[in-house]
Amino acid sequence: MNDLRKDSVTWAEIDEGSCEQRIDNFLCKHLKGVPKSHIYRILRSGEIRVNKKRVDQTYRLQLGDQVRIPPVRVAEQPPRDYVPALEFPILYEDDALLAIDKPCGVAVHGGSGVSFGVIEQLRSARPQAKFLELVHRLDRETSGVLLLAKKRSALTALHEQMRDGKTDKRYLTLAIGSWKNVKQHVKFPLHKFTRADGERRVMVREDGQESHTVFALQQSWAGYSLLEAQLKTGRTHQIRVHLAHLGFPIAGDDKYGDFARNKELAKQGLKRMFLHAYSIALVHPITGEALRLVAPLPKELEKFIAKLDVGIPSPLGRGLGRG
């Protein structure tokens, strides 16, 4: 890999996209290809200046700050893989916040064998956007409300709300089995691990992270239960693993579900996992307004529910009817 040398001092003026970001993180993004050890060395030596003053790596940049960047060697970047520009159905948008209805089958970001996801496609579609970051994540197989921040101040405020449990995320899911309780709190601790083939999974284990889901029965049929799942914590695959551990796997779940049953469900029209992030309530990070954003149940899931109403073979081997 060749090196390119920036032979002269450059100056960067901080805009809203970098405001409140730590100087070390800003430099890592600005000087792609420069080893982090070198970035910290030029910070310690005082070669990096903000408004003509020395700062340490914990300094948070402010709007209008002038950052002096000395000459450095930058590793030449390979050509960026093509990312198609794509917009997604918008549920809400203003200067600080974007909420979209993510389709099933689309990753939220590239990685783990996926070249690109929602965030990369949106950035490609909006080259003028100074800042666009995911506020949270959804599994590739999960559809529904996905939040993105258009300002760093909005991102940090929303992350704080989520850490403090001030957002309310709710999902709709179809579980295989006859759920009895109208409302049930589930608090199994969850442990993440990597399988021999490199795939990341989650299991219930005593030394796992504290996890809390509240399930509320919405509708039932013989052998199927439509549940609302309210997340009190936001662990990876939380709803899927909690339900599978209880013996009520999500219909169509190809990781923790009933694989034989999933094949039958696919023949009956359900060709995806029945898990949809239908609602999130939050306080607007800038205005303080209370917001509740809702993504309607996708048509393919509505159609499958309609088939349950009519009556298809149940996993218990008898016809379905309303519970």
For residue 12, the surrounding DSSP H or E stretch is: strand 10-13
Taking a C-beta distance cutoff of 8 angstroms, is the pair 314, 221 a contact?
Answer: yes
Cβ-based burial of 148 (10 A; exposed 0-12, middle 13-18, buried ≥19): buried
Cβ-based burial of 240 (10 A; exposed 0-12, middle 13-18, buried ≥19): buried
User: Amino acid identity of 63?
Assistant: L
Residues in the chain: 323
- CA-based end-to-end distance of the chain: 65
CA pair distance 25, 43, nearest whole angstrom: 12
Q: Report which of 133, 148, 145, 144 is spatially closest to residue 104, judged by C-alpha positions.
A: 144
Please pick, among 139, 254, 258, 309, the residue that the annotation labels catalytic.
139
Phi-psi region of 215 (alpha: psi -120 to 50; beta: other; left: phi over 0): beta
The values of phi and psi at residue 209, to 5°, are -75, 145
Among this protein's residues, is 56 annotated catalytic?
Answer: no
Please give the positions annotated as active site.
139
